[in-house]
Amino acid sequence: KNQVEQSPQSLIILEGKNCTLQCNYTVSPFSNLRWYKQDTGRGPVSLTIMTFSENTKSNGRYTATLDADTKQSSLHITASQLSDSASYICVVSAGNSGNTPLVFGKGTRLSVIA
């Protein structure tokens, strides 16, 4: 069964600190992996996409990594800000056609405090 597991479920960090969120997946065939950020009361917004051949991709203070061999991805947030407080959702696309099924993780709830 295709699954995406995220850890930790929740995390509290001080402003200015770094943190890393984890995503493990068992999805086949793998197409790509996206990280979404969901602010409270809003819909998720895409942060980054990782394809099979990519190991690392950065988007400002966000850096995503992918290890296709171990089927793990991480999202590293550098120098956290209060505005980083949100849920971060890992989504894996299964298959190779244009409208393939998406498998959602349950998200990690990050709280950045002053």
Partner 1 sequence: NAGVTQTPKFQVLKTGQSMTLQCAQDMNHEYMSWYRQDPGMGLRLIHYSVGAGITDQGEVPNGYNVSRSTTEDFPLRLLSAAPSQTSVYFCASRLKRSPLHFGNGTRLTVT
Contacting positions for partner 1 (CB under 8 A):
32, 34, 36, 41-46, 49, 89, 91, 98-99, 102, 104-107
Q: Min. distance of Cβ 6 from partner 1 in angstroms?
A: 9
Q: Min. distance of Cβ 42 from partner 1 in angstroms?
A: 5
CA 76 to chain centre: 9
- Residue 56 is inside which H or E element, if any? strand 56-59
Q: Based on CB atoms, which residue is closest to partner 1, 52 or 104?
A: 104
Our CA angle for 31, 90, 12, nearest 5°, is 160
Q: Based on CB atoms, which residue is closest to partner 1, 70 or 99?
A: 99
